[in-house]
Amino acid sequence: METARSSVIVAIDGPSGTGKSSTSKAVAAKLGLSYLDTGAQYRAITWWMLTNGVDVGNPEEIATAAAKPVIVSGTDPAAPTITVDGEDASGPIRTQEVTSKVSAVSAVPEVRTLITALQRSIAAAATGGIVVEGRDIGTTVLPDADLKIFLTASPEARAARRSGEVKGSDLSATREALIKRDAADSGRKTSPLAKADDAVEVDTTELTLQQVIECVVTLVEGKRVAA
């Protein structure tokens, strides 16, 4: 009998450098699901703040400006897009400046409320199912997700992967920056980076990307059969 191709919502959380984005995109593409990179949305709002003269050291200023930018995410895993006020933001959101400021901006509760609502509306519109990756998807954004995955890896493995992605970057500086960002993301009051109680934890330290993808695909297929 044909496996039921029911719509499925998959939440993939974890710190940076665990292979979250590559895994989420590949799993979504393989299973014909939509894909949402929620980190890109926090990066986009941060980029807008930086280019519009908002003092990102001032949470009140951030809160006041939070509703101004219009952020639109395209959810095709083969070509995910992100625009801010109609402008392609996919390049500028990956700069060092944005990376170093995104934790401060994303810690502001007004920012999280708005972005969380946006994420829920995108997930609700994805009638064929969606893979949503982030830090608080399983705990806060989509607590009723059909499957929750929490990816981990040693700081050394994560730093090595990140510096491989960023040309000319220094391994120990990358490691320090990554640990600092994890601490900020895990320590904030509003929906911190955390593993949901019912999430499946996958330690990717010793796994290839292909192995992580296969592991997650198997878990999703298991849920679909059970559904």
135 binds ligand DC (CB under 6 A): yes
Least distance between ligand DC and beta carbon 139 (Å):
10
CB 193 within 8 A of CB 135: yes
Stretch 68-107 residues interacting with ligand DC (CB under 6 A) = 102-103, 106
Stretch 179-198 residues interacting with ligand DC (CB under 6 A) = 181, 185
Please tell me whether residue 73 adopts helix, strand or coil conformation: strand
Please tell me whether residue 166 adopts helix, strand or coil conformation: coil
Q: Which part of the chain contacts ligand DC (CB under 6 A), choosing from 26-34, 61-69, 83-91, 130-138?
A: 130-138
Q: Give the span between the Cα atoms of 164 and 174, in whole angstroms.
A: 10
CB 159 within 8 A of CB 171: yes
- Report the residue number, 185 or 202, with the smaller CB distance to ligand DC: 185
Please tell me whether residue 66 adopts helix, strand or coil conformation: coil
User: Tokens 């970057």, residue?
Assistant: 169
23 binds ligand DC (CB under 6 A): no
- Report the residue number, 16 or 34, with the smaller CB distance to ligand DC: 16
Least distance between ligand DC and beta carbon 169 (Å):
14
